[in-house]
Amino acid sequence: MLEVVEPGVLLTIQDAGRPGLGHLGVPPSGACDPWGRATACLLAEAPPGGAALEVTIGGTVLQALESCAVALAGADLGAELDDGRPLRPEVVHLVPAGSRIRFGGGRGPAATPGGLGLPAAPGAPMIRGARAYLALAGGIAGEQTLGSRSSYRRGGLGPWGGRPLAAGDRIAPVRRGDLGGIGLAWPVDLAPHPATSGGPLGIVPGPDEGSLPPGTLAAIAGESWRVDVASDRMGIRLAGTPLAGGAEIVSHPLLPGAVQVPPDGRPIVLLADGPTVGGYPVIGVVPRADLPRLGQLSPGDEVAFVAISADDARARWRDQQERLVSAAAALGADALWHRLADHAGG
Amino acid sequence: VPSGRRSPPPVSTSAALMADPRPPARVRVERFGDAALLVVLGERVDAELNARVHRLAAAVRERGDAMPGLGAPVPGYASLLVTFDPLVLAESAARAVIAEMLAAPAGPAVADADPPVTIRVRYGGADGPDLAAVAQWTGLSQGDVIDLHAGTEYTVFVVGFVPGFPYLGVLPAELALPRRATPRLRVPRGSVAIAGRQTGIYPVETPGGWHVLGRTDAAMWDPRRPSPALLGPGCRVRFVPA
């Protein structure tokens, strides 16, 4: 059992989300970095759709009310115990009763010059990013709303009426008292976090290319963009040389990954809590294999895009899911994880 | 996105709802990323076009129940988003389903079989703080505004903005107004409001820029219900003064 001492910038519970309710105005929600969530859940022996804490940027402090096994994954947000011991990502840690976990914020040479620069595992590249995932033994207990434990504030869905977690909130493992798995580490060589490799994010062209000036996609791909501070779980605003904006179109449905071009020419890339319908032309969509990297972008980050075919995007998605299955096998995970499926959903 | 929609988005202009002499647009099936297709039936907000969207949605949904990998379709005004799991279903197979459904003879409108849902509204006063202003801007009496609003049968074109918010059309032209210049920071749940050629009902308290004519006690949105939204896409709706 963990109690929130300080929620930090934003602390929510996220699982694989509630896809399939877009017709009712409900976004899929779920983890912004689905790979990070899946990693934490696999290490914690949670089921494929299990819930984890999504820690954003940092400032979060959690207290263990009883000793528990804690699986960390996603970005390295500088987690450490109050005795100063670092809690590396992609490892299961013992957090003794009474001690606190503090997420000080991203560390590493690139993020904080002169920072600790701790590798996740010997030789493993640093996972830089905005979001860390914390799972407890068997997952995080709690009731589902509309088939999911994910917090979605605008719709009042998820635990605590959908609001972000606040001081005093308590999170219990599904298997209380289970301290198994301490020291278990993610097979980094089999399945490195997508954010450990660089390169531009893919964009699958469409569906509104025809409603935008010719060359818009090339203009997006030819620019370097900066993630604006006005970004959240709904979407990422990109700052840079504005594109020639398009006229508004008749609103159509939307999905996470959609790259909208508003009339002001400053693109918005939708994330897990993004709107389900909208009237800005969508120049293209970041494919599912790149959502983990998209979800790890932090304000101030530079980001570039490259057009990718749907077939290439799907090949990357399949490769990514196959790596998750390999990791599950290496960890001896529940058979549910061994099936090639959308495990990184949400 | 913190610009965060402070009010239901501008989904259409009133011009888009005027009688449109153009011939129906050719249907386009566009890629929406690597795991969805957008079926675009037209480029305007139009009750007949929207009814086709809901028929297509019902057909795809029915087929999806028996076809692994085909996801729940999401209707727009003049388009339908069809998701699929590319690990299970090839894009070509999803396209084949869509082509088959488009070629099938048009069935009855989705909601025609059901009687319209009746929403009781307390118009004016504290429940409808914009009724007087709407009457003034339109040059109508408050009674005329209520009669026009309640005298029309609407269809849920799309649901969005917040969970369970129904965009209903078509509002009589006499009541068409642009959205408020300054959105309200809080519109109470159950508020019945108008903007452009549409009307809507706020299912939860939220910021909003539409003109509030009244309020209903109907539970528009309850995630604990099997059908959390009282009004789903394609539903027919009538307002009745309480």
Residues of chain A with Cβ-Cβ distance to B76 below 8 Å are 250-253, 277
Q: Residues A219, A243: contact at Cβ < 8 Å?
A: yes
pLDDT (mean) for A136-165? 94
Residues of chain A with pLDDT > 90: what percent?
Answer: 84
Give the residues across from A53 on adjacent strands. Answer: A13, A134
| Contact across the interface for A277 and B34, Cβ inside 8 Å | no
| Contact across the interface for B2 and A230, Cβ inside 8 Å | yes
| Contact across the interface for B76 and A310, Cβ inside 8 Å | no
- How does pLDDT run across B146-200, given as a tens digit for each residue? 999 999 999 999 999 899 999 999 999 999 999 888 889 999 999 999 999 999 9
Helix (H, G, I), strand (E, B) or coil at B38: strand
Q: Say whether residue B160 is in contact with chain A using an 8 A CB cutoff.
A: yes
3-state secondary structure A34-51: HHHHHHHHHHCCCCCCCC
pLDDT (mean) for A310-324? 96
Question: What angle is formed at CA A232 by the lines to CA A228 and CA A235, rounded to 5 degrees?
Answer: 80
Mutate to test the interface with B, among A143, A150, A203, A252 (most CBs of B within 10 A): A252
A166 pLDDT more than 70: yes
- How does pLDDT run across A179-224, given as a tens digit for each residue? 989 999 999 999 999 999 889 999 999 999 999 999 999 999 999 9
The larger pLDDT score, comparing residue B107 to residue A66, is at A66
Secondary structure of chain A: what % helix, strand, coil (to 5)? 20, 25, 55
Residue numbers of A between 270 and 309 with CB closer than 8 Å to B: 274-279, 282, 284-289
- Which of B31, B33, B76 is opposite residue A252, by nearest beta carbon? B76
Q: Say whether residue B92 is in contact with chain A using an 8 A CB cutoff.
A: no
Min Cα distance A313 → chain B (Å) is: 6
Average pLDDT, chain B: 89
Residues of chain A with Cβ-Cβ distance to B207 below 8 Å are none
| Contact across the interface for B57 and A23, Cβ inside 8 Å | yes
pLDDT (mean) for A243-259? 91
Residues of chain A with Cβ-Cβ distance to B95 below 8 Å are none
The larger pLDDT score, comparing residue B113 to residue A141, is at A141
- How does pLDDT run across B112-157, given as a tens digit for each residue? 668 899 999 999 999 999 999 999 999 999 999 999 999 999 999 9
Which residues, other chains included, contact A293 with Cβ-Cβ below 8 Å and sequence gap of 6+? Answer: A33, A194, A195, A201
Residue B158 to residues A157, B166, B199: CA-CA distances in angstroms?
A: 20, 6, 12
* pLDDT grade for A154, boundaries at 50, 70 and 90: confident
Whole-structure pTM value = 0.91
Ranges of beta strands (E only) in chain B are 28-31, 36-40, 74-75, 79-83, 117-123, 154-159, 166-169, 184-187, 191-195, 198-201, 206-208, 211-215, 236-241
**Which own/partner pairs from B145-151 qualify as long-range (CB within 8 Å, at least 24 positions apart)?**
B145/B175, B145/B213, B146/B213, B146/B214, B146/B241, B148/B172, B148/B174, B148/B175, B149/B123, B149/B175, B149/B194, B149/B199, B149/B213, B149/B239, B150/B121, B150/B123, B150/B238, B150/B239, B150/B240, B150/B241
Q: Residues A1, A65: contact at Cβ < 8 Å?
A: yes
Residues of chain A with Cβ-Cβ distance to B206 below 8 Å are 154
Min Cα distance B104 → chain A (Å) is: 23
- Which of A26, A253, A340 is opposite residue B81, by nearest beta carbon? A253
| Contact across the interface for A230 and B16, Cβ inside 8 Å | no
Residue B8, pLDDT score: 54
Residue A108, pLDDT score: 46
pLDDT (mean) for A42-52? 95
- The rounded Cα A256 to chain-centroid distance in angstroms is 12
